[in-house]
Amino acid sequence: MSVLIIADHNQVALNPAVYSLVTAAQKIGGDIDVFIAAQDGSKVLEEASSIKGIRRVLLTEAPYFAEELPENMSASVLEVSSEYSHILFIANPSGKAAAPRVAAKLDVAQISEVTDVVDGKTFKHPIYAGSVIETVRTLDEKVVLTVRATAFDPAEKGETSVQIERVVPISPVIKVTFVRKEQVKNDRPDLQSAKIVLAGGRGLVDEAEFAEMGRLADKLGAAVGTTRAVVDAGIAPNDWQIGQTGKIIAPNLYIGFGISGAIQHIAGIKDAKVIVAVNKDPEAPIFEVADYGLVADAMATVRELEQKL
């Protein structure tokens, strides 16, 4: 068996999820290669070469890889796919855009959001917003997966003897053109890689209260998240949303203030190591999954914590 991991990166650094995919690949077994498609891959190539457990890094460079079009990514992956039994993408927006294109062209059934590897053909993944874990066995010869990185520990960096292979870039796919990318600036840690996440739900009533929770987050070096109800109300931006239709997070510590614990929200936090819930309703469902629960007013708790810190 040989596994190809499709690296996600920002041209400067790898998405930390790549390290977790190496661990997932190790559970599958066989040789592990990493594929990097970049405008200028020198920095990410160096980083990938230091991950323990990798046999080879394949690098293809072209100016159009600055644009992150899944059409170009999937066509490039298909060029090198023939020698691999498994192709792994991160279950993030880029991976979810490219993986189905690769699976369709290879005429195989993609397995999505893998959270555990039973063996090279058998995988576990959540369905019904995480309320059921399904075990699926593929009959396809080639296996295309999107992998939920938060479910696997990151592989280590260190001394390696990784081989480097340069791949001739494909002719760019011309059916699609890149128009523009708008990136949200955020001084706080990234929600999906933060060690601590503070999330506010409808128990916080307006932007001013979220700003107060933000100040507490800054004292803790934490990222800030929320529920879909708050996003729909226009109080917090979309990219703060945690859950089934938002971001899946796995911090060491998650504190939810005024969040009821709907199944769609819990789907995004259940990999958190410690879950703390503050809610004025002792019957709130979030207390069923919380390690620590405090029946209290959300903002009073935020203020008291900030003062104590």
Interface with ligand FAD includes 245 (CB under 6 A)? yes
Asked if residue 260 belongs to a known ligand binding site, the reply is: yes
Asked if residue 135 belongs to a known ligand binding site, the reply is: no
Interface with ligand FAD includes 281 (CB under 6 A)? yes
* DSSP string for residues in 99-166: HHHHHHHHT---EEEE-EEEETTEEEEEETTTTEEEEEE---SSEEEEE-GGGSPPPPB-----EEEE
Interface with ligand FAD includes 260 (CB under 6 A)? yes
SS3 content of the chain, % helix, strand, coil (to 5): 30, 25, 40
Interface with ligand FAD includes 305 (CB under 6 A)? no
Interface with ligand FAD includes 241 (CB under 6 A)? yes
Write out the two tokens for 186.
Answer: 């955020």
Task: List all residues 6 or more positions away from 122 whose beta carbon is below 8 Å from its beta carbon.
Answer: 135, 136, 137, 138
Least Å distance, CB 163 to ligand FAD, is: 41
Burial 259-290 (b: 16+ CB within 10 A, else e): bbbbebbbbbbbbbeebbbbbeeeebbbbebb
Least Å distance, CB 98 to ligand FAD, is: 23
Asked if residue 228 belongs to a known ligand binding site, the reply is: yes
Least Å distance, CB 95 to ligand FAD, is: 18
Are 235 and 214 contacting, i.e. CB atoms less than 8 angstroms apart? no
Least Å distance, CB 285 to ligand FAD, is: 8
Q: Which residue is nearest to ligand FAD (CB)?
A: 243
Q: Which of 70, 201, 251, 293 binds ligand FAD (CB under 6 A)?
A: 201
Stretch that binds ligand FAD, among 100-108, 113-121, 196-204, 216-224 (CB under 6 A): 196-204
Interface with ligand FAD includes 293 (CB under 6 A)? no
Asked if residue 138 belongs to a known ligand binding site, the reply is: no
Q: How many CA atoms lie within 13 A of 250 on its CB side?
A: 12
Q: What residues line the site for ligand FAD (CB under 6 A)? A: 201-203, 227-230, 241-246, 258-260, 262, 264-265, 268, 279-281, 284, 297-298
